[in-house]
Amino acid sequence: MAKWGFALSKQEIQLVVQTYVNENAIKTTFKEGKPDDDWFRSFYKRNRLSQKKMEQLEKCRRTATSDPFIIYSFYDRLGETIQQLGLQDKPAHIFNLDETEFNMDPGRIKGVAALGQKVHRSIEGSGKENITTMACISASGVLLPPLIIYQGQNLWSTWKGSNDLEGTCYAVSDKGWMTTAVFNSWFSKFCSIVSERPLLLIMDGHVSHLDRGTIELAIQNNIILFKLPPHATNILQPLDKCCFASLKLKWNQKLTEWQRLNHRRLTKSEFADLICELWNEGITEAIIKKSFESTGIYPCSREKYPVDRLNKIKLQKLNESVQNPNPLDVFELNQEKKNDEIGANNVNNSEQKIIEKETTNETNDTKTFQDNNVKPQPSLSTSFENILLNKISKTNPEIKRRRKVNSSCAVLTSAEYLDSIR
């Protein structure tokens, strides 16, 4: 269940066991058939289980990262591209870029206090203000200066850091996010800063990265834009998998210390200075090289991808399609195996027997079991597997035709709402 993305809590496991015990009339010492905490602890240790905080994982992301047709196709195309460009021994020609957000207030961390005392930390802002920052790294361990995107209409003189890294880029957008105009402007500078050619730039498929102007500029500068599969960047992208986690850990620690000493909000110029101070410390050369290697980007290797994340049924189909590219070949191979088993001379007779078996009723099926001395196994009224599957049974709500009720700002009571619908 945990592997499918539906891990059960302790209470849910106890309820599942209670349902199984009661519906199958099993005698136990449990009160009303529900096991207690002592039973759960024994069950927990006996089966070598562990309780963990469940992370939220979007269904589309779980589906994409478990599809071997998507994942292995990406690695195959990446390997072919690296070979065509002759970059097998040129890590300095392979780059990865991505954006992330840094909160202006420290996140929740553990604090030390007296026993039974509530612990809180005073923050100066709302806790929701973020600043987008983009990083760009190469497989050789090079880290470019950051691109900092503020929210606003114009850049102001007081927003530039006084101790920022040389080459740090600044930009503004209406919501403080990456936009097509900002990325185009940065990409033109990237083409002049990085001199290696040909260049392979790996990035996600965000709409701001795939503008026509960016693509034309990449063609002119002999830069190949290689897009990562959608919803799989958390595993396939070097920056996502290794680099940002290390940087944000140091950012959170530094920001916590800064607010304790200053007791005020962090200004934009101070943000630039602080992020630049941690930039090369949080994303070191060793971390960058490890991130490319662990994701299988460079050296390109699909074996680096965790096989246990892949859907076994789809993986089997992929292996069969690789061995037999033509679907007709797979069909003919199966037919040959059947013919070998039943004999070439008895093919017609065997087919007739199969048809007869499909058209027999339940009485004949029972006789067949008795004739073969095979007795059907008795089954419990409710199997443990069915109880588990009922926990994730999918129900589709009835789709109703939508009609406009009220386009004004008037507040409707429940009764008025029903009258308007009628």
Mean pLDDT, 10 residues at a time, the chain of 422 residues: 76 88 90 91 89 68 85 95 96 97 78 73 67 97 96 92 94 93 95 96 92 94 95 92 94 88 89 96 96 96 92 88 63 51 49 46 46 47 76 71 72 80 80
Nearest to 287 by CA among 250, 261, 337: 250
Do residues 150 and 173 share a domain?
A: yes
| 421 found inside a domain | no
Q: Has residue 31 been placed in a domain?
A: yes
Residues 245, 185 within the same domain: yes
Same structural domain for residues 50 and 84?
no
What distance in Å separates the CA atoms of residue 238 and residue 299, rounded to the nearest whole number? 12
Same domain, 93 and 191: yes
pTM here?
0.70
Residue 407 lies in a domain: no
The one-letter code for the residue type at 115 is L
Number of domains in the chain: 3
Co-location of 282 and 341 in the same domain: no
409 in a structural domain: no
- Domain limits for position 336: 325-374
214 lies in some domain = yes
Residue 122 lies in a domain: no
The reply to whether 151 and 35 lie within a common domain is: no
Same domain, 167 and 295: yes
| Nearest one of 182, 224, 240 to 207, comparing CA atoms | 182
pLDDT at 375 (0 to 100) = 43
In a domain, 212, yes or no: yes
Same domain membership, residue 345 and residue 199: no
CA 414 to CA 422: how far, in whole Å?
A: 13
Same-domain status, 285 and 353: no
The answer to the question of residue 112 being in a domain is no
- Domain ends where: 308, 337, 365? 308
Structure tokens at 85: 């460009």
204 and 152 assigned to the same domain:
yes
Tell me, what's the pLDDT at 126?
59
Q: Tell me, yes or no, whether 199 and 287 share the same domain.
A: yes
Rounded distance between C-alpha atoms, residue 206 and residue 227, angstroms: 9
272 contacts: CB under 8 Å, gap ≥ 6: 148, 159, 160, 161, 164, 168, 170
Q: Quick one: pLDDT at residue 376? A: 44
Give the CATH number for residue 86: 3.30.420.10
Residues 92, 181: one domain? yes
